[in-house]
Structure 1
Amino acid sequence: MTQPTDARIAAAMTAHPRAFRDPAPVRIRKIALWVLFIGLIAWCLWDFNFSPERIWTGLGRLGRVASFMFPPHIWTTWEDWAEILNGLGETLSMAFLGTVLGAVVAFPLAFLGAKNINRIFWLRMSARRGYDVIRAFETLILALIFIRAFGLGPLAGILAIAVSEIGTFAKLFSEALENTSRRPVEGVVASGGSRLQSIRYGILPQVAPVYLSVILYNFESNVRSGTILGIVGAGGIGFLLSDRISAYRWDEAWSIIFLIIAMVYLIDGLSARVRTRLIGSLERTA
């Protein structure tokens, strides 16, 4: 049988172009989807009052605001630096404590949502829908609720991050449990191990690197989220940033933004090194 070549395929396409086209229903469906997509974008731009004039005017105002930020402010007294460093420390503490609390609570809840651990259908589905309900609340909304309940300060931010992370961690942890191999579990059971021992020695060593990676990544993300929570009154560097912007002290605002960027950069770098070292050691011992 003669093997087709690129030249023969090109010649066949030239001689019989309609044979290589999608069927009419497929083409109509593609055209309809593109029309719907373009129409949705056009409607959004019209409804949001998008116009080149508005964009040009906004860019001019943005340029004036940016000009107020230069040169950046440099604090000259220890009292000023102490306030800024304290705000950075509060933001970092909020992210750390919120992430840890969320992971601790989500760890046992994840077993309820994993089908290879929990065989009771209604209980497993209830746990999974519970994850979805928790994740439906944005961290910012939770912060506003907790501020009303506990007052201004980092406590509201810690609780907001922790509650939000419970749903996220529980879902990701349960999925990691479901994706584990059965062979280590069968080995533990064949050696006379109980069900709890099969989970401890057959499943947890497989998911430990995944758990650690997820926790570290979410901690990095929560450091950034902690800044936003501070703007609404949950303390931290975000509160100081909001205060400087409200007072039109743009040079200090830019300096605070630069410090936030530097803090996030350092946290990302340290987290990556910790992830590489610890996950590597866990995978070698698993």
Structure 2
Amino acid sequence: MAQPTPGQIKQWQARMPAAFGVSPATRALRWGIGAAALGWFVFLLWWFQFTPQRLWNGLSGLGTIIVLMIPPSPGALWLDILKGIAESVAMAFLGTFIAALIAVPLGFLGAGNVVVNTLAHFSIRRVFDGFRGVDQLIWALAYVRAVGLGPLAGVLAIATADIAVLAKLYAEAIENAERRQAEGIDAVGGSKLLRTRFGLLPQVLPIMIAQALYFLESNTRSASVLGIVGAGGIGLAIAERIRIRAWDEVAFIIILMLITVALIDQISARIRRRLIGGREAQALR
């Protein structure tokens, strides 16, 4: 086999430079990006005063707290603890239910295959992005000032924070739905309402319910934090016991919350598997 001449090698290198290795300019660029990333990392450590001594002191203090948590104890007001956990679960359920209910029509409005106007679709999606940028805790602080202390502020905070997120997820599910079913409704002269009701909704409804159930799990954990700012739930009890350094009672509350979240996770996971599994079985028929 004839060896390629230097001229041929130069021609091939001009046509396919990547096949002959990384160029010096690309290598220098990579080193520059790596050095910039390393410099930014070191700057953040300096900015946040991240030192080995400070980290060690924090870990040793955390170890002391963990020792004080053993053994966990419900204290004298264990009925109040159970009531607070039940209130947190109820807040999560009601807030998620309201958010999912409102997000269904908003999801259809945000879907590009339902609202085909580009400007309207872009505007609705940007509204979703704006609401998603505000955390539940910020909404809770606002609603505590608006409606007062208690679980109502927590329910409104959960619902307001989740509406835009669920609406965006629902819109993406609707956009990825099978088109043939909706086109069949159009072919027989069905209206846009019938197209949405019978062509799109049956396909995406199991996904919508599954996503709402996942949010229920997440909101059960979030509801325990909202109580710290006065939005109801078990968070206030946790904050009070941390303030008086009753770490054994804090450990007992955390264990109950873990058990509660695990139970909700198991139940919702089974429901999701049945929903998604049933949908896949229908698709295979």
State the Cα distance separating 1:282 from its structure 2 match: 4.0
Deviating beyond 3 angstroms after TM superposition, the runs of 4 or more aligned structure 1 residues are: 282-286
State the Cα distance separating 1:251 from its structure 2 match: 0.7
Q: Secondary structure of the equivalent of 1:234?
A: coil
Task: Name the stretch that deviates more: 30-39 or 273-282.
Answer: 273-282
Looking at structure 1, the residues matched to 151 and 43 of structure 2 have their Cα atoms a distance apart, in angstroms, of 41
Query: What does residue 42 of structure 2 align with?
Result: 42
Q: 2:239 aligns with which of 227, 238, 242?
A: 242
Q: Please say if residues 212 and 279 of structure 1, whose CA atoms lie closer than 8 Å, have aligned partners that are also in contact.
A: no
Query: What does residue 5 of structure 2 align with?
Result: none
State the Cα distance separating 1:227 from its structure 2 match: 0.9
Query: What does residue 119 of structure 2 align with?
Result: 122
State the Cα distance separating 1:70 from its structure 2 match: 1.2
Looking at structure 2, the residues matched to 111 and 202 of structure 1 have their Cα atoms a distance apart, in angstroms, of 12
State the Cα distance separating 1:285 from its structure 2 match: 4.7
TM-score normalised to structure 1 length: 0.88
Question: Where do 5+ consecutive residues of structure 1 fail to align?
Answer: 2-17
Report the AA paired with residue 261 of structure 1: L
RMSD of aligned residue pairs (Cα, Å): 1.8
Query: Is residue 94 of structure 2 the alignment partner of residue 97 of structure 1?
Result: yes
Query: Is residue 212 of structure 2 the alignment partner of residue 219 of structure 1?
Result: no
State the Cα distance separating 1:21 from its structure 2 match: 2.3
Query: What does residue 253 of structure 1 align with?
Result: 250
State the Cα distance separating 1:58 from its structure 2 match: 1.4
Looking at structure 2, the residues matched to 39 and 262 of structure 1 have their Cα atoms a distance apart, in angstroms, of 43
Query: What does residue 54 of structure 2 align with?
Result: 54
Q: Please say if residues 74 and 253 of structure 2, whose CA atoms lie closer than 8 Å, have aligned partners that are also in contact.
A: no
Report the AA paired with residue 96 of structure 1: F
Q: Please say if residues 88 and 232 of structure 2, whose CA atoms lie closer than 8 Å, have aligned partners that are also in contact.
A: yes
**Counterparts of 1:156-175 in structure 2 under 5 Å?**
156-175=153-172
Query: Is residue 160 of structure 2 the alignment partner of residue 144 of structure 1?
Result: no
Looking at structure 2, the residues matched to 157 and 74 of structure 1 have their Cα atoms a distance apart, in angstroms, of 25
Query: What does residue 134 of structure 1 align with?
Result: 131
Aligned residues: 267
Looking at structure 1, the residues matched to 173 and 23 of structure 2 have their Cα atoms a distance apart, in angstroms, of 41
Q: Please say if residues 110 and 170 of structure 1, whose CA atoms lie closer than 8 Å, have aligned partners that are also in contact.
A: yes
State the Cα distance separating 1:81 from its structure 2 match: 2.8
Identity of aligned residues (%): 46
Per-residue deviation, residues 50-87 of structure 1 (Å, max 9, x unmatched):
11111111122111122211111144x6xx33211110
Question: Where do 5+ consecutive residues of structure 2 fail to align?
Answer: 2-17
State the Cα distance separating 1:43 from its structure 2 match: 0.4
Q: Please say if residues 143 and 156 of structure 1, whose CA atoms lie closer than 8 Å, have aligned partners that are also in contact.
A: yes
Looking at structure 2, the residues matched to 99 and 214 of structure 1 have their Cα atoms a distance apart, in angstroms, of 10
TM-score normalised to structure 2 length: 0.89
Q: Secondary structure of the equivalent of 1:245?
A: helix
Looking at structure 2, the residues matched to 259 and 275 of structure 1 have their Cα atoms a distance apart, in angstroms, of 24
Looking at structure 2, the residues matched to 213 and 51 of structure 1 have their Cα atoms a distance apart, in angstroms, of 44
Looking at structure 2, the residues matched to 112 and 180 of structure 1 have their Cα atoms a distance apart, in angstroms, of 15
